[in-house]
Structure 1
Amino acid sequence: MSRFTKFAFVAALAAVGLGLSGPSVQAQTLRIAMTASDIPTVGGIPDNGSEGYRFTGFPVYDALVNWDFSKTDQPADLTPGLATEWKADPEEPRKWIFKLRKGVKFHDGTDFTADAAMWNFDRIFNDKAANYDSAQAAIVRVSLPMLEKYEKLDDDTLVLWTKKPFSPFPYLITRVLFVSPTQFAKVGGKWVDFGKQPAGTGPFKVTKVTQRVSIEMARNEDYWDKARVPKLEKLVLVPMPEATTRLAALRSGQVDWIEVPPPDAIPSLKSAGFQISLKPYPHLWPWVLSVADNSPFKDKRVRQALNYAIDRDGLVALLNGTAKPATGFYDPTYPAFGKPKTTYNFDPAKAKALLKEAGFGPDKPVKAKIMISTSGSGQMMPIPMNEFLQQNLKEAGFDIEYNVVDWGTMLVAFRNPPTAAMSQGSHAVNISLPFSDPTNIYRFFHSSAMPPNGSNWGVTNDPIVDKALDEAFNTFDPAKRDELLGKANAQIVDEAYWLFIVHDLNPRAMTAKVKGFVPAQSWFQDLTQVTVVK
């Protein structure tokens, strides 16, 4: 454990009183150890990737369209949030009409209105507005490059325009979370101060923020969705990036729940009576490969050799079954997987043959620099996992160098081109990514979505992929859209644009006292139904 981590861990325990409260208080409080190296921001658009949205995004705020966690036997889909309904104008499919929910109040007691909604769009999309926040804008705009304009039609209606017809547009609106304009003015009109005393409309409200230590939340008794008023009185979030630290905190009773327990500790945790939660969800742990001119992965044969050179089953065994092998962007059970011609199994001989064909061999290995993180949202166990892959790849003819960075540094790099200084000369980025909505494949692979217009960090430019995605997002028929997305995924697999490694099974461990948690098939989870018994 690093000196800083030890200090932060001890400070966290002291600051939030972990383990010091009596049983009656503990029974109303859930204490979660996150994988994040710092507390996610709480100013309305959280940093720390999807873990930020999981813990300080959706619990505290609502979007016009929320995620539906009620159907846990299938991937989470959309449900009305601050908008009760939405539709694309059949005469002008670029025009989306959102009817706003009445009677919603922010945590400060003020009303959510159409004017408040417009103010929130300005803070992200209008760099001339007094409330514009470039940091929050950078996080959202990479997901919403196709938003052209927004306008208030009347007190109950917003109209959002896309640059071209884009049928899954409502999925993207989940990224825009709404904060109180009144509270922003009350704290002096500065986002850094709003982040210390925020106000949203969500089921939990932030009561205390201790930088680098913890976030404390309380139940929002007045939440508009009465079925999701939290059963907990208090929620405490503590950043603990090191898996062994999280494990020690759980075993000693200092927290009730940890994200991503060490895989080798799972059998002993089970035997000691702890709960282990595993469930497939739309998630991929890949290497995103740059195909820029300066990258060895520009050559398709090298990319394919990379995919044949790794032992996915061996890696799953190392992870004690907390993941499953990945052979494409989507999982094969997903309706949009399609019919790729290629299936990547562990075949070192084939990998070596492909490298030889590409001009490499024992005396001339493929040299590549890969950016990996120490921890982070959905990153699982990045150091030992990448060490395992490094050995696989060395035997096949690759000389892999790792550039180990903090999770936040990686997120910034991924929002910029691979040739930018932020990428530090890396030829690939090991960043875990969702496919929880159909727009993700567009953001990661369409040629128009290269940074800063999206998350196509690898600068993939494939006419077959582009055509399939354009057609998919021009249709409002979900089955037809899945068929077209399948064509795009098949091409992505056959061209080996990424190194497809594993799909995470969303592991977490908790004490037997935690009740009511039913994992959703989503990066995001519903904490409103959870209780902690005596």
Structure 2
Amino acid sequence: MPRPFGLPVALAALLVAAPSARAESVLRIGMTAADVPTTTGMPNNGFEGMRFLGYPVFEGLVLWDLSRIDRPAGLRPGLAERWEQAPDDPKTWIFHLRPGVRFHDGTPFDADAVVWNLDRYFKADSPQYEPPAAGITRARAPLLAGYRKIDDRTVAITGSAPASYFPYMVVYLLFTSPASFERAGRDWAKVGMLPAAGTGPFRITGVRPREAVDLARNAEYWDADSRAKVDRVRLMPIPEANARIAALRAGQVDWIEAPAPDGLASLRQAGFVITTGSYPHVWPWFYNIGAANSPLKDVRVRQALNYCVDREGLVTFLNGTAEPAVGWLKPSDPNFGAPQNRYRLDPEKGRALLAAAGVTDKTPLALKVMISTSGSGQMQPLPMNEFLQENLKQTCNVDVTFNVVEWQVLLNAGRAAPDSPSLQGANALNVSSPSSDVAVMARYFASANVSPKGFNFPQWKDDRFDAALSELAGATDPEAIARATRAAHERLVDDPPWLYIVHDLNPRAMSPRVKGFVSPQSWFVDLTRISVQ
């Protein structure tokens, strides 16, 4: 091969002989969290924690299928290659574990590791019991009642009742290497700084509280077709929206969650990529129905507030990064049903319902709402809630005050009893919610899952809803499941446990150097597809 013209012979020989050096690729993400999510294998900070320090590092028997963007994400095999209901017991599911999987520390993933982790979440007297992780997991999988090892590659997990949607709860059970716990002297606080070992496509390499968590590509990942393209990921908590935009513009990060809506146009003009996409998500207020003397015990008050909200105005305020929410599901969803109430801005109807409940201009409704400064799926909570405060005052003379707390404090409040001192008298909580599947519906609204057991913070009970949920839990025919789901959702609209406000369109801003990102219809993202060029 002729040498390049004009190069000295020695230099030409060096260029030919030396292997081509490739710079290590690093993806830096600015999260909305105020602190890095916990790193023991069950992250806090809501689903943003699961998005970045859950599934990429610590996996479940069942995983989300994020390969498609044309429909809401379903499930796919994860650490279990298949599962089925036990033929002799519809409450029990048999999970067949994937062979050859190892944790990042080289120890095997097997049935003993599954049982060890389930004891960590559900057995309070086990040495590895981790109370914060247990609280999160029990609330997400409230039906789980028992489990056992069948053999090294098979486990049985039993629910408290038959539920066709049980695998949609199992998807939230993540697994950490038991060896991580032993290496840390059986101290979970130290496990999080080791770092802990999972089985995912990335492994944790460094943890700096309030600053960053570093991940590295797992070159030995069990799914060879899904090994990460990027070498490293740095996750950085930046809770203030404009600070995230400034970090992106300054080149300190490559990707930010939830950019401030009024900054989107200038980011586009500067060459940054803005992504949005509809996904199963709702941004509501959770009514505190169960508190003593709560004005929200009266369904007419709960309905009235849903007629007093100017959703279209809020969408305009958000620069089109949201859609109006008039139920837990979107009106376009085939399971929305045909409720009697079709919420819209109708102050006259809202005031009439309030008057029928004994609320007048002389005795106006006053609500105290606990909100966060930022957080997973919380969009822009401070300006959005200020908009609602003024909106409700103008339309229906409702006086709203706020108690502003950090996101994790608000999440903890969502699992509190209705008169708990931790709520500080709150009549409602502004906590964004997934609306991805019936298991989530059961977790948030079934009367059996009232807080603190589950996420039914309102302490809402509707017999027709419970009956529909029971019907679909035992159904196997798709049409029967769809019919019961529609009936259940109609009750969520007509006897509303929440104030439905908007659905998020999940905006992100990225450097044009970030390639391969797709916006699935899910809270979660597939970081393995992404490269930085």
TM-score normalised per structure 2:
0.94
Name the residue aligned to 2:221. Answer: 223
Partner amino acid, structure 2, of 1:346: L
Q: Residues 170-209 of structure 1 correspond to what in structure 2 (within 5 A)?
A: 170-196=167-193, 197-209=195-207
User: Which whole-Å deviations, capped at 9, do the CAs of 1:64-95 have from their partners, x for residues lacking one?
Assistant: 00111111211111000110000002331011
Aligned equivalent of 1:242, options 240, 243, 248: 240
* Distance of 2:170 and 2:478 partners within structure 1: 18
Tell me which moved more, 506-515 or 175-184.
175-184
- 1:390-438 per-residue CA deviation (whole Å, 9 max, x = no partner) reads 1111121211111111101111110112211222211111100001121
Residue of structure 1 in register with 2:441 after alignment:
441
Q: Percent identity?
A: 49
**Deviation digits for residues 24-57 of structure 1, max 9, x if unmatched?**
74x6000000000000011010000000000000
Partner residue of 1:157 out of 154, 157, 164: 154
* Cα distance in 2 between the residues matched to 1:479 and 1:242: 45
Supply the distance in 2 between the matched residues of 1:183 and 1:43 (Cα, whole angstroms). 9
**AA aligned opposite 1:467:** A
SS of match in other structure, 1:142? helix
Partner of 1:14: none
1:282 partner letter: P
In 1, the alpha carbon distance for the partners of 2:46 and 2:273 equals 26
Contact 2:339 2:493 in 1 (8 A): yes
Q: What one-letter code is carried by the residue in structure 2 that aligns with 1:500?
A: Y
Q: Secondary structure at the match of 2:205?
A: strand
Distance 1:221 1:519 in 2: 25
Q: Aligned partner of 1:462: which letter? A: D
Q: Write out per-residue CA displacement over residues 294-349 of structure 1, whole angstroms, 9 at most, x where no aligned residue.
A: 21111111111111111100000000010000000111222321111111111112
Task: Please give the per-residue CA displacement for 1:261-304, whole angstroms capped at 9, x wherever unaligned.
Answer: 00011111111111001000000000111222421111111111
1:360 maps to which residue? 359
Matched, 1:374 2:351: no
Does 1:427 pair with 2:424? no
Q: Does 1:392 align with 2:406?
A: no
Matched, 1:210 2:205: no
Aligned equivalent of 1:253, options 239, 246, 251? 251
Letter in 2 for 1:161: T
TM-score computed with the length of structure 1 as normaliser: 0.94
Alpha-carbon distance in 2 for matches of 1:494, 1:187 = 51
Q: Distance in 2 between matches of 1:267 and 1:289?
A: 35
Alignment of 1:295 onto 2:287: no
Do the aligned residues in 2 keep the contact of 1:355 with 1:397 (CA within 8 Å)? no
Q: 1:181: how far off?
A: 0.9
Q: Distance in 2 between matches of 1:234 and 1:96?
A: 37
Alignment match, 2:26: 29
**Residue 472 of structure 2 contacts residue 485 of structure 2 at CA under 8 Å; is this kept in 1?**
yes
SS of residue in 2 equivalent to 1:509: strand
SS of corresponding position for 1:66: strand
* Distance in 2 (alpha carbons) for counterparts of 1:108 and 1:41: 19
| Native 8 Å contact 2:217 2:228 kept in 1 | yes
Q: How does 1:508-519 map to 2 (within 5 A)?
A: 508-519=508-519
Aligned equivalents of 2:482 and 2:210: distance in 1? 42
The one-letter code of the counterpart of 2:344 is N
Distance 1:255 1:466 in 2: 46
- The amino acid that maps onto 2:209 is Q
- What aligned pairs does 1:96-111 form with structure 2 within 5 A after superposition? 96-111=93-108
| Paired positions, count | 510
CA distance in 1, matches of 2:93, 2:366: 48
The alignment status of 1:72 with 2:80, answered yes or no, reads no
Of residues 383-392 and 358-367 in structure 1, the stretch that sits farther from structure 2 once superposed is 358-367
Partner residue, 1:132? 129
Q: Give per-residue Cα distances to partners, 1:471-491, cap 9 Å, x unaligned.
A: 111112333222211111111
Pair 1:166-2:163 in alignment: yes
Q: CA deviation at 1:182?
A: 1.4
Q: Does 1:493 align with 2:499?
A: no
- 1:40-51 matches, within 5 Å, as 40-51=37-48
Counterpart for residue 9 of structure 1: none
Are 1:147 and 2:144 matched, yes or no? yes
Asked if 1:528 corresponds to 2:528, the answer is yes
SS at the partner of 1:120? helix
Are the aligned partners of 1:85 and 1:99 in contact in 2 as well (CA < 8 Å)? yes
Letter aligned with residue 153 of structure 2: D
How far apart are 1:501 and its partner, in Å?
0.3
Q: Which residue of structure 2 aligns with residue 331 of structure 1?
A: 330
Structure 2, gaps ≥5 residues long: 1-20
Any idea what SS the aligned residue of 1:369 has?
strand
Q: CA RMSD in A?
A: 1.2
1:97, distance to aligned residue in structure 2 (A): 0.5
Task: Tell me the distance in 2 between the aligned counterparts of 1:312 and 1:285.
Answer: 11
Question: Per the alignment, do residues 412 and 525 of structure 1 end up closer, same or farther by CA in structure 2, a change over 3 Å counting?
Answer: same
Aligned to 2:150, what secondary structure does the other structure show? strand
Letter paired with 2:337: G
2:161 alignment partner AA: K
Cα distance in 1 for residues equivalent to 2:200 and 2:368: 42
1:366 deviation in Å?
Answer: 0.2
Which letter maps to 1:107?
Answer: H
Partner in structure 2 of residue 8 of structure 1: none
Distance 1:92 1:403 in 2: 47
The aligned amino acid for 2:197 is A
Distance of 2:302 and 2:161 partners within structure 1: 33
Consecutive unaligned residues of structure 1, counting only runs of 5 or more, are 1-22
- Give 1:496 deviation, angstroms: 2.5
User: Residue 320 of structure 2 aligns with which residue?
Assistant: 321
| 2-structure distance, mates of 1:181, 1:496 | 43
Contact 1:309-1:348 within 8 A present in 2 as well: yes
Code of the aligned partner of 2:33: A
Task: Tell me if structure 1 keeps the 8 A contact 2:142–2:443.
Answer: no
